[in-house]
Homo-oligomer: A and B are copies of this chain.
Amino acid sequence: MSLSIHLRHDLPDLRLDLSFDAPSGVTVLFGRSGSGKTTVVNAVAGLLRPQTGRVAIDGWELFDTQKNRWLPPHRRRLGYIFQEGRLFPHMTVRQNLYYGRWFAPKRARRENPDKVIEMLGIGHLLDRRPAGLSGGEKQRVAIGRALLASPRLILADEPLAALDDARKAEILPYFERLRDEVSVPILYVTHSAAEVARLATSVVALQDGKAVRHGPASEVMADPSIAPAGVRAVGAVLNVRVREHHADGLTELEAGGARLFLPRIPHQAGEGLRIRIPAQEVILSNKRPEGLSALNVLEGVVETIRAGEGPGAIVSVKTPAGPILARITRRSVAALGLEPGQTCFAVIKTVALAPQDVGGRLTAP
């Protein structure tokens, strides 16, 4: 499945003009407040009629202004999670959740409502009405409502912004599952680099209504120049395989022959997954470090050194596990005498690999 979007639309203060084809999976729209993300999503949903453009899911045209084709919103089979919830105030939470199911074709793949409700932790709210719910509760119901509509495309406009970290960590895997197992394409708006790294198959960086950067997540996220995420979002994405769970609560991973430890993850031994290693979490050393608390040390060869903004530089190190990015100060580059071709050691703290940086099964972008 793929998503093809061409849009051109003038708003009073903003000219939207973008065009991209996204592969199956999660396409993240990334950009500053006011850059036009919601507007793009609305155009895909059919809530905004762009002046010119075409949107197609896997060849199925939602609209094409040239051919004068226009599917009304209710025929598009979407699950739109709105930035502001938009729950139906006169219905209970249960009725909100089941609303889309009335209209889904009988043969459509159906989520198991009980599972969704449990995952979102809203079982105790089912008979309440939206008005009394907290901000986060509302947003969880909105997510559930969209998921249960058996959509062919999920539009998620900052779905997790109102949620606490623990809840985020619970819900993120669900989006991964949607991406990996059910292959519903997802157009996902977020500000969070962690969410991008974890979910994105491809990333479209928006700025003033234009797509300034577009590509596979691993590429875009390795590029310090993308404005919205900032240099702190840069990181490498490694394909790894779970080798063993240790008794002291660590999980051992295997990546291209190298070993990596991180706090216990729920995945099974043998399972493949991808992890993001934020560049700023990586320390480089020019000799094998000893007596350090950090358990992960990867030997490699410096490939490139890019001076980033400010006092920092991004050093790319080729290791058996894959390329690792490290963000260090230029002063350290000088002090360690780093230059391309030189051998060095990347030190990664075990606990620095945050759960939100560990994704589900990897699908090739």
Where the two chains meet, the residues of A that have a C-beta atom closer than 8 Å to any C-beta of B are: 11-13, 31-34, 37-38, 83-84, 124, 128, 132-137, 140, 157-158, 161-167, 191, 193, 227-230, 232, 246, 248-250, 261, 263-264, 280-281, 283-287, 289-295, 310-312, 326-333, 335-336, 347, 349-352, 354
Q: Is the CB–CB distance between B290 and A294 below 8 Å?
A: no
Q: Other than the known A13-B124, A34-B136, A283-B294, what 4 A-B pairs have Cβ atoms closer than 8 Å?
A: A13-B128, A33-B136, A83-B162, A294-B328
Bound: A293/B328 CA distance, A:
7
Bound: A158/B137 CA distance, A:
14
Contacts A191-B165, A248-B311, A292-B285 given; does A351 touch B329 at CB 8 Å: yes
Which residues on the B side are within 8 Å of A335 (C-beta)? 293
Which residues on the B side are within 8 Å of A248 (C-beta)? 311, 329-331
Q: Shortest distance in angstroms between A49's beta carbon and chain B's nearest beta carbon?
A: 16
Q: Is the CB–CB distance between A167 and B32 below 8 Å?
A: yes
Q: Is the CB–CB distance between A293 and B332 below 8 Å?
A: yes
Q: List 14 A-B contacts (CB under 8 A).
A: A12-B128, A13-B128, A33-B137, A38-B134, A158-B162, A165-B228, A166-B228, A283-B283, A284-B292, A285-B291, A291-B336, A293-B332, A294-B332, A295-B332
Q: Is the CB–CB distance between A34 and B264 below 8 Å?
A: no
Bound: A180/B136 CA distance, A:
30
Which residues on the B side are within 8 Å of A246 (C-beta)? 331
Q: Is the CB–CB distance between A230 and B330 below 8 Å?
A: no
Q: Shortest distance in angstroms between A236's beta carbon and chain B's nearest beta carbon?
A: 15
Which residues on the B side are within 8 Å of A291 (C-beta)? 285-287, 289, 336
Q: Is the CB–CB distance between B33 and A135 below 8 Å?
A: yes
For the complex of A and B, list the 7 residue pairs with the smallest distance between their C-beta atoms, beginning with the closest.
Answer: A33-B136, A249-B311, A293-B332, A293-B328, A164-B191, A284-B293, A286-B291
Q: Shortest distance in angstroms between A346's beta carbon and chain B's nearest beta carbon?
A: 10
* Chain B residue at smallest Cβ distance from A308: B351
Which residues on the B side are within 8 Å of A310 (C-beta)? 249, 263-264
Bound: A335/B132 CA distance, A:
52
* Chain B residue at smallest Cβ distance from A278: B352
Q: Is the CB–CB distance between B287 and A287 below 8 Å?
A: no
Which residues on the B side are within 8 Å of A347 (C-beta)? 283, 292
Q: Shortest distance in angstroms between A193's beta carbon and chain B's nearest beta carbon?
A: 8
Bound: A349/B227 CA distance, A:
23
Q: Shortest distance in angstroms between A332's beta carbon and chain B's nearest beta carbon?
A: 4
Which residues on the B side are within 8 Å of A280 (C-beta)? 349, 351-352
Q: Shortest distance in angstroms between A227's beta carbon and chain B's nearest beta carbon?
A: 8
Which residues on the B side are within 8 Å of A34 (C-beta)? 133-134, 136-137
Q: Is the CB–CB distance between B229 and A165 below 8 Å?
A: yes
* Chain B residue at smallest Cβ distance from A231: B351
Q: Is the CB–CB distance between B134 and A33 below 8 Å?
A: yes
Q: Is the CB–CB distance between B263 and A311 below 8 Å?
A: yes
Which residues on the B side are within 8 Å of A330 (C-beta)? 248-249
Bound: A166/B149 CA distance, A:
35
Bound: A310/B351 CA distance, A:
10
Question: Quick one: which of A33, A84, A284 has the most chain B CB within 10 A?
Answer: A33
Bound: A52/B304 CA distance, A:
65
